[in-house]
Structure 1
């Protein structure tokens, strides 16, 4: 009888353990669905979530099917022309025809030259750069760069989304604050998060502009005749060399005088003191003799 009771008790214990294990496994499997809010991505299958959620870089480039890199193009072009002003006018016309614009322009009068910073649509960048290099004058130099900012855009987009979600939660907490201290604390945190979000959005806008618009810096310089070599032989050459040496000597002498000038009061005082001592010694010798 005792053996039968022990066997029944052991059977009950094993049944309870098995039921507890199955229930724990079921709870763990259902935990994500139970914890996720309605409309969350957790309600879909993993494969469906991965295939349906476009990356931040894809959202930036507008391509959700295949991966497309976000590239920021820049170029520095230097050309030599006969006349600077007509060349700059033609350069502006070429850029304007491509729906671009002048972001900054500087003209130098001492040595006729100009510097123009253009912003052109990225899809028109190659043809505009080629036209500027070939249709204005002689190309002196050209430097190009292409920076891949895809990951940077994705990072900024993700941080913007997180900041917006944090602001939403803080506004909810602010509406539930019960004391003045809680209101002030949440408001201070809300202001700081809003400032961070504004900075992120400004960076997001700047990155988007860099991808959509290529930057071209054009420097236009005028042609100059090479100066004729001067003949340094003969009388005029010797006169010029002598005058150069004389002016150099005078300049060095004046430099030395200027350096000694601050010490002149001390030197004058030292001179008169020495003169006084010499005369005094000579007078004593005369009296002793």
Structure 2
């Protein structure tokens, strides 16, 4: 019996076929030592179950991710439009960050969307139209082989656990019970890890992740508002205001120096005026008579 358990443990990390044969041998060995108890028959897998992995291969499993960078004069309005696109395709916003500017309005927004994979392309196109598009990127990864492999490993792990439980139910000695329970706990931990991997793959292939970054457009820059006369008028007012601020700064910088300049120039001006009074003009020479 102990030899059967050790043989079972040694085959714990091997493939499905080796594991099945080792477990079957353990069950047969325990059956020979039991008091007339016959080993339970293990039902052969159904034809549909055997064909399931082959069917999974026919269906491609793709992980799609995308990112969209937008520029808009009204970040809050564009953020609402992005939310509407997510709702249109039965998606959800899993993350959202907003940075405010000095004037109180939003300056930047970041949103992470989870959209059903079947609507990934349509959602990307609609998001690109919500404001002025700055950049757009998409990435697709084929994980079909990984999905099928995980599915087969989960199935084999469950079959192996059922056989170990059969051994445990027929064990009579304390040493055998302890060894089988230890092996059963290890197999169940491996199965839980495989189920977690399977759930993660299912989530990534069924829902695509799209990250949207929205930045406020610079004054006079291209945004989602109407261009033309109003944009030019706004740019002109901004330029006039900037020029007025520069002129005001220059005047403010000169005013403190005005008294100093006057004090330096006043003596020079006084001396120059006094010299003009002291020096008399030379009379012009008149014509001489003979």
With the length of structure 2 as denominator, give the TM-score of the two structures: 0.57
Q: CA deviation at 1:57?
A: 6.3
Q: What secondary structure sits across from 1:178 in the alignment?
A: coil
Task: Identify the residue that residue 173 of structure 2 maps to in structure 1.
Answer: 179
Aligned match of 1:141 = 135
* Structure 2 residue 160 is matched with structure 1 residue 166: yes
Give the alignment partner of residue 84 of structure 2, picking from 79, 90, 93.
Answer: 93
Q: Tell me if 1:40 matches 2:44.
A: yes
Q: Contact 1:116–1:218 at 8 Å: present in 2 too?
A: yes
2:74 is the alignment partner of 1:73? no
Q: Distance in 2 between matches of 1:87 and 1:116?
A: 11
Distance in 1 between the 2:112 and 2:83 partners? 10
State the secondary structure of the residue aligned to 1:112.
Answer: strand
Aligned counterpart, 2:186: 192
2:123 to 115, 124, 128: 128
Q: Secondary structure at the match of 1:103?
A: strand
Equivalent-residue separation in structure 1 for 2:55 and 2:200 (angstroms): 17
User: Which structure is higher in helix share?
Assistant: 1
CA contact (8 A) 1:73 1:215 kept: yes
- Asked if the contact 1:80–1:222 (Cα under 8 Å) also holds between the matched residues in 2, the reply is yes
Match in the other structure for 1:280: none
Give the paired residue count.
185
Partner of 1:221: 215
Pairing partner for 2:98 from 85, 101, 107: 107
Query: Is contact 1:57-1:150 (8 Å) kept?
Result: no
Q: TM-score, normalised by structure 1?
A: 0.57
Distance change (3 Å), C-alpha of 1:75 and 1:132: same
The answer to whether the 8 A contact 1:125-1:214 is kept is: yes
- Mapped to 2, the partners of 1:202 and 1:39 lie a distance apart of 27
Measured in 1, the distance between the counterparts of 2:131 and 2:54 equals: 40
In the TM superposition, residue 124 of structure 1 has moved relative to its aligned partner by 1.1
Distance in 2 of aligned mates of 1:81 and 1:140: 10
Structure 1 CA distance, aligned partners of 2:51 and 2:214? 45
**Matched residue of 1:69: which SS?**
coil
Deviations along 1:40-97, one digit per CA (max 9) or x if unpaired, are 37xx9xxxx7x9943526348xxxxxx2311111101111111111211111111111
1:56 aligns with 2:53: yes
Q: What root-mean-square deviation, in Å, do the aligned CA atoms of Structure 1 and Structure 2 show? A: 3.2
User: C-alpha distance in 1, partners of 2:127/2:54?
Assistant: 32
